[in-house]
Structure 1
Amino acid sequence: MKIWTSEHIFNHPWETVVQAAWRKYPNPMNTAVIGTDVVERDIKDGVLHSHRIVSSQWHFPKWVEKIIGVPKVVYASERSTVDAEGRQMTLKTTNVTFGTFLSVDEVLQYAPHPKDPAKTLLKQQATVSVEGVPLCRYMEDALTKNISFNANRGRQGLEWVINKINTEVKEIDHLLSQTKKSLDGITDTARKSMDELSASTQKIHF
């Protein structure tokens, strides 16, 4: 069994990072993930509970593929909780494919940075276990290295989504600003027309 851990600080508020985590796929950095399907979603005691199936394409060395065989699409079960009041998000992912001899359990925890609430601390841990096939320990090492590599790309993907969200917010703010200007212009025009009409009516009356 191999255990891998990592910590990363995002220079963004927790709410922004969590929103990006929900919209993480698809992104150009994590092309292996090809789909996410919501199985169940519920709110209990103010905490959002979700269960999703993640579809992806795993790429192993040729010798590994000859030993275990690799289907075109592999699946993982992801269960998550989001506590908006406590500002905590936890995702737990377990592989479904290869479950008879391979176990990859991953936990991600997003929380405000303890020293700077404007930033977000990500704690990540993965436990890899391979049994019942040749070269178990070697495969565990290879999978752990792959997880580390993908974790880095995952953080890059999250930054990409955050940038996309910030761009969308700016575009919406710009659109609202332009709409407000247009409405103000229409209101001013209507007010001037009413004033002119009122003045004309008074002249006719006298």
Structure 2
Amino acid sequence: MVKAYKQEYTYRHPWERVTSASWRKFADPENKRILSHILEVDTLNHKLDSDSGKLYTTRAITIHAPGPCLQKFIEVQEKIQYDPHPDNPDSWMLCRHETSIQIKPLSALASMAEKVEQRCAERFVQNSAKGREVMERICKYLEAESGGISL
């Protein structure tokens, strides 16, 4: 069983500001309180598609989850994509966030696995809201830093 969900969020900031905020999100010391579950972020791979101009990045994010240690049994895949917003492509960004959570096969505990997946999904939704809060704060900081000039 896989628990998957999708979210969309509009950042009312230009591309350059949103992408800068995305790179600063985990490095900013002020975010330690809000994103206290994030222990470490490592960039594993960068790939620039020269035909499309898209940058693909693979990161490994180590998190702390209170309770029993389930790391051997849970697999999480997360994909975040930023695109110009169709209603205002020069000034806004549309963030598409997809997450899938899977408990590795435990046939004897299948009903419990489904409940654990659901609880994990609920926590990821809560934590992604915190991540958006951090992104908005960084975007506003970058806007103030640039004197309100759109990049």
- TM-score, structure 2 as length reference: 0.77
Letter in 1 for 2:64: Q
Q: Which deviations, in whole Å up to 9, do the C-alpha atoms of 1:44-76 show, x marking residues without a partner?
A: 41443433332321234xxxx1xxx25xxxxxx
Amino acid at match of 1:116: N
Unaligned 5+ runs, structure 2: none
> Using the alignment, how far apart are the partners of 2:24 and 2:61 within structure 1?
13
TM-score, normalised to structure 1's length? Answer: 0.58
Match of residue 148, structure 1, among 111, 125, 134: 125
Instruction: Please show how residues 42-191 of structure 1 align to structure 2 within 5 Å.
Output: 42-45=47-50, 46-60=53-67, 65=68, 69=69, 97-98=71-72, 101-117=73-89, 118-130=91-103, 131-132=105-106, 134=109, 135-170=112-147
Supply the AA of the counterpart residue of 2:101.
Answer: V
* CA gap 1:112/1:3 in 2 versus in 1, 3 angstroms: same
Give the Cα–Cα distance (whole angstroms) in 2 for the partners of residues 102 and 48 of structure 1: 28
- Partner in structure 2 of residue 80 of structure 1: none
Residue identity matched to 2:23: W
Q: Which runs of 4+ in 1 moved over 4 A?
A: none
Give 1:38's aligned residue: 43
- Higher Rg: 1
Structure showing greater relative contact order (alpha-carbon pairs closer than 8 Å, 6 or more residues apart):
2
Distance 1:35 1:167 in 2: 28
Structure 1 residue 42 displacement after superposition? 4.7
Structure 1 pair 44/116, CA: closer, same or farther in 2 (3 Å)?
closer
Structure with the larger helix share:
1
Which residue of the partner structure matches residue 5 of structure 1?
6
Gaps of 5+ in 1: 71-96, 174-206
CA distance in 1, matches of 2:96, 2:54: 20
Give SS of 2:127's match.
Answer: helix
Whichever residue aligns with residue 128 of structure 1, its letter is I
Residues 114-164 of structure 1: CA deviation (Å, up to 9, x unaligned): 011111111111111113173101101100101110111110011121122
AA partner of residue 155 (structure 1): R
Name the structure 2 match of 1:186.
none
- Distance (whole Å) between structure 2 residues aligned to residue 52 and residue 165 of structure 1: 23
Task: Calculate percent identity across the aligned residue pairs.
Answer: 24
Cα 1:39–1:108, aligned 2, differ >3 Å: closer, same or farther? closer
Matched to 1:125, the amino acid is E
